[in-house]
Structure 1
Amino acid sequence: MESLRRILILDDESELRQMLTRYLRANDFAVQAVENSARLDHYLQRQPYDLLILDIMMKPEDGLSVCRRLRAEGQTLPILMLTARGDPLDRVLGLESGADDYLAKPFLPQELVARIRAIFRRQALERGEVSRLPQQVKFGPFRLDLARQELCRNQHPVTLNGAEMQLLVALASTLNRPVSRDNLMARARGRSYSAQDRSVDVQVLRLRKVIEQDPSAPQWLKTIWGSGYMLTGEIVA
């Protein structure tokens, strides 16, 4: 199984650290949160991370100073800065100090996740890793072309509505790995949603009626209790 992306959070607000940790873990990231730069240095020395989320407004060492110091020490991990100030000059200062992106508070958690994924996509493009992403997946008699968003059964096109296709592509993009409901909701809605919103579950039921021989005993689109949903299959050329 592919390892989760590791994210390190530095923020001196306990409530925000806890909220970000819960939300990012629900979106399939491995997360460690710290409250000061000394703890940050400790974790960076222990293992590599894929991204640092860094708050600007901190004491005694503020986020700009931390960012400059890390870059001077040769740290190349992507840095996403958070700040309560929306002044464009702050954004310039953050980027000039070595940050890769900037997000002003308050922000939607979905926007944070979108920006994180955009940073990882840019990295993949720079490293020429895009070809490693699955282009087509096969499950039973079905073949899904992710780029064209086309589903075929035994080479015959299958019609799905937009929401069903979006859900299937999201699951196929992480084939054989559980995807949380929050993750699927964030991809589908791109905005705030209620914990009681069951639209993803409804779409899963509809999709199962299309791809499963027996929707009550799914073979391909499985429920992983405590984790979410998972599409099983194989990547094909």
Structure 2
Amino acid sequence: MTDLASHGTAPLPTLPPAVSGARIVIVDDDPGVRELLTGFLVDHGFGAEAVGSGKALRERLERRECDLIVLDIMMPGEDGLSILRSLMHRADGPGIIMLSAVTSEVDRIVALEMGADDYVIKPTSPREIMARIRSVLRRRAAPGSGEAQPGAAHAPHVTSDCFGFAGWTFDSRRRKLVAPGGAVVAVTETEYRMLAIFLRDPHDVHSRESLADLTGKENFNGNDRTIDVHVSRLRRKLARGSGDEIIRTVRNRGYLFLPRVEALVA
């Protein structure tokens, strides 16, 4: 049964070209949800289509890539979290927004820990889903900002597309993170932008609020632990390739990137 709220008729703001033409795939077992969301997104300039299962999604991705997937969690057979897990091995994969009637904070954190870029609670409206899509795509369309945290002890801003730190290499233009042993490590869009922020302004303390702003998260709430989840997930990935501490939590201030950062020639 379709449980998305009415989307109303008020006009929406014009989207940037890099966002408005994006290819979106809706994955939901409810035909009503699929029809409502795809119709709304197509009406507003997106290349949207829908499938009803993980199998159908994989067949679709074999034919053509997409920019973002809106993925329902509660589906019969293979559920959304299983599908999400199968997509996370790709370093250049699409953005993923989970859609769920489950309101538990634990479930939301699990989805974010697994690699989702956002998590939307049903019932909601196509208008809100479109706003979340726009936010994720906007983060993908723009390189990470290098603004220093106001009032922090400033270290030199690193101007480069390729960085080296603690045996790792990170090519921000190609969005490629390589571990000390040479393995390519998949990162989500939020992790990519967060790492770019740390590397361009190493040794500055970045507050949760500034990371939320620079990664494009709108309407940040001080009690929202989403940024902490993303930092924790990035920290664990970096810890697997090095025994060194990479990201340190600075009590009541934010996060500090510890390694020496070098600008490399790509």
Choose between structure 1 and 2: higher helix proportion: 1
- Are residue 32 (structure 1) and residue 49 (structure 2) matched? yes
- Secondary structure of the structure 2 residue equivalent to 1:126: coil
Number of residue pairs matched? 128
CA gap 1:75/1:63 in 2 versus in 1, 3 angstroms: farther
Task: Give the residue type in structure 2 aligned to 1:98.
Answer: G
Structure 1 residue 75: Cα displacement? 5.7
Output the TM-score relative to the length of structure 1.
0.51
- Aligned mates of 1:74, 1:62 — CA distance in 2: 22
CA distance in 2, matches of 1:66, 1:4: 25
List runs of 5+ in structure 2 lacking aligned partners: 1-16, 146-266
Q: Residues of 1 paired with 2:41 and 2:87: CA distance?
A: 23
* 2-structure distance, mates of 1:21, 1:73: 25
Q: Which residue of 1 aligns with 2:67?
A: 50
Question: Where does residue 110 of structure 1 map in the other structure?
Answer: 127
Deviation at 1:124, TM superposition (A): 2.2
Residue deviations 1:24-52 (CA, integer Å, cap 9, x gap) = 11111011100111110011011110100
Q: How far off its partner does 1:21 sit?
A: 0.8
- Secondary structure in structure 2 of the residue aligned to 1:52: strand
**Structural RMSD (CA):** 1.9
Indicate yes or no: 2:59 matched with 1:8.
Answer: no
- CA–CA separation in structure 2 for the residues paired with 1:47 and 1:53: 16
- C-alpha deviations, 1:174-195, integer Å up to 9, x for none? xxxxxxxxxxxxxxxxxxxxxx
SS of the residue aligned with 2:106?
helix
Q: 1:71 to 1:111 in 2, by over 3 A?
A: same
- Aligned partner letter, 2:110: L
| 3-state SS in 2 of match to 1:72 | coil
Deviates more, 1:3-12 or 1:80-89: 3-12
**Match among 33, 37, 40 for residue 20 of structure 1:** 37
- Deviation (angstroms), 1:108: 2.0
Q: Write the distance in 2 (CA, Å) between the matches of 1:76 and 1:127.
A: 18
Aligned-residue offset at 1:16:
0.6
Aligned positions of 1:136-215 closer than 5 A: none
After TM superposition, what 4+ stretches of structure 1 lie above 6 angstroms from structure 2? none
Secondary structure of the structure 1 residue equivalent to 2:66: coil
